[in-house]
Amino acid sequence: MNIILIGFRGTGKTAAGKLVARRLGWEFIDADDYLEKKTGKGIATIFDEGGEKLFRQIEESVIAELCGLEHKVIAAGGGAVLSKKNVKNMKKSGMVVLLEADADTIYERLKADAKTRSQRPRLTDKDMHDEIVHLLDYRRKYYDKAADYRIDTSQRPPEEVAEEIVTAFEEKLST
């Protein structure tokens, strides 16, 4: 059984996920970081070489591999839910928790994150805020379909989010 965190970039999957893993005594794995280590290439390079299609193919194999592990807190990439195969693997692997935030909060968080600027490719030709609004709207139905549990992280510190995830997971285990 695993806990898989889904949601847009900047919703707190890494920050909360590390805290959840520490609390449970499990390992935290960021799927994007794992993908980069496995391929020896940055995500932006993969996009440059083969576009989003190539990235999503590699991502599917990484998600399948990670979902085959046990007692992990896995932060899936923001678009991982676009693949039915990924969603099936995540749901089979454990509890899928959607971390949500409003577009303005995500925008402010991403502006402050050097990793986002240097390693994450733009997915549209829109400016960053408009891209966030557009992608959130487009992905909403995919996030909704994949989620077993959801948390709005907009005005909440990672510690509080992590505590809610652990509580929800323990409740799920006891039912």
pTM: 0.91
Q: How confident is residue 115, by pLDDT bands cut at 50, 70 and 90?
A: low
pLDDT over 70 (residue 6): yes
pLDDT over 60 (residue 112): yes
All structural domains of the chain: 2-174 (3.40.50.300)
How are strands ordered across the β-sheet holding 2-6? 27-30, 72-75, 2-6, 94-100, 149-152
Q: pLDDT tens across 8-36, in order? A: 999 999 999 999 999 999 999 999 999 99
Q: How confident is residue 127, by pLDDT bands cut at 50, 70 and 90?
A: confident
**Per-residue pLDDT, 113:** 73
Residue 92, Cβ density class (10 Å: 0-12 exposed, 13-18 middle, ≥19 buried): exposed
Give phi and psi for 23, each to the nearest 5. -65, -40
